[in-house]
Structures are given as structure tokens and as C-alpha cells.
Amino acid sequence: NSNNNVSNGSLGKVYGTVGLDLGWNLPIGGNFVLGIGGSWKPANQTVSIDVDSDAADHDITLKVKDSMQGYLSAGVSTSENAMTYVKFGYVEQDIALSGDVKNTPTKLSGWIAGFGTQALFESGAFFRTELGVENYEKLDVDKSSTTGSASLDPLVAYGGVTLGYRF
């Protein structure tokens, strides 16, 4: 802040989203599967940060927008129609910072890692569950009204359920 005091904290928000995931799995040998894919998730969530309780014009708003990711996966068949997999890739998140900030970025990028299960039904439909983490690059912002800055080190935990169809 303007008095050179350092404050530490964390913020977060839980929200749901839907998206589109396209991928391709290649069977390798009897029980192994390699995959490549990408996803797009539209979002429009807002987190408000009360920087100074005495002045509303010093507040900052972070808006989380669309997310895109590309990934590679490796899986092991646990039965004829089911597998467990791990996934690693690149993620990019659109953001908007407004309020008492200057030099604001519009994108965050980082890596994604996850693991999950997938069950394939005779009809070609599949059901997938996944847990993972998105680790973004550090974000530095400066106040525009006074001296002061903030550093954000975004780390996102996620859980997902996918219903899909195999063509």
C-alpha cells in the first residue's frame, strides 16, 4: 500500500461452467492409451477485492473469462470399457482487471495436470470424471491512484464431469 505495508492473503471463488472438449485416443498395445485433446470453457465470473475499506474507488475487480487448454494424456485400461488416465498440458485464461490498477494483462497462461477415469458404453457414449490443478504464471499489478502493487500467483483446483460420445 502507500505506507509500504505488506499484506498477504488469498482469495477464491467456486463456480460451475460448461464447455467443449475434443480429443483423440490411440490404443497402444493391449492396455495402454495415448491421447491428445483440447478444450474451451466459457466463463464470466467476477471476484471483487476491497483494497481500502475507506475508499470504494481503490477497489479492484478481477473478471475471469474464457479458458482454453491443450493436453496430452496417457491411460491404462482397467477393464474392457474403462480406463484410468493422467493428463498434462498448457492452459490459457482470459481475464480483465479493473478499478484502481494500471498496466493490466488480459491473459494468464500456465500448465495443467490432472487424473481421472473414463467409462465407455456400448452405444458409444462415455462418462469421464477428473480432478486436477491449473498453475498460472505470476501476475504483478500496480495501483493507479497511489504507490502500491500486488502480486498474484494463481493456482486453481478443479473437478470435472464429462458426458460425451465417441465417433
pLDDT by residue for the chain (167 residues), tens only, comes to: 556 666 666 667 777 888 899 999 999 988 999 999 999 999 888 887 766 656 556 677 888 889 999 999 999 999 989 999 999 999 999 988 888 788 788 899 999 999 999 999 999 999 999 999 999 998 888 777 777 777 788 888 999 999 999 88
Three-class secondary structure of residue 57 per DSSP: helix
Closest CA to 120 of 158, 87, 162, 86: 162
Residue 50 CB-density burial (10 A; 0-12 exposed, 13-18 middle, 19+ buried): exposed
**Which of the 8 DSSP states describes residue 54?**
T
Residue 29 CB-density burial (10 A; 0-12 exposed, 13-18 middle, 19+ buried): exposed
Any residues with CB less than 8 A from the CB of 92 and at least 6 apart, and which? 67, 68, 69, 107, 108, 109
Any residues with CB less than 8 A from the CB of 2 and at least 6 apart, and which? 143, 146, 147, 148
Distance, CA of 28 to CA of 167 (rounded, Å): 19
Neighbour count for residue 67 (Cβ, 10 Å): 22
pLDDT, position 43: 84
| Single-letter amino acid code for the residue at 162 | T
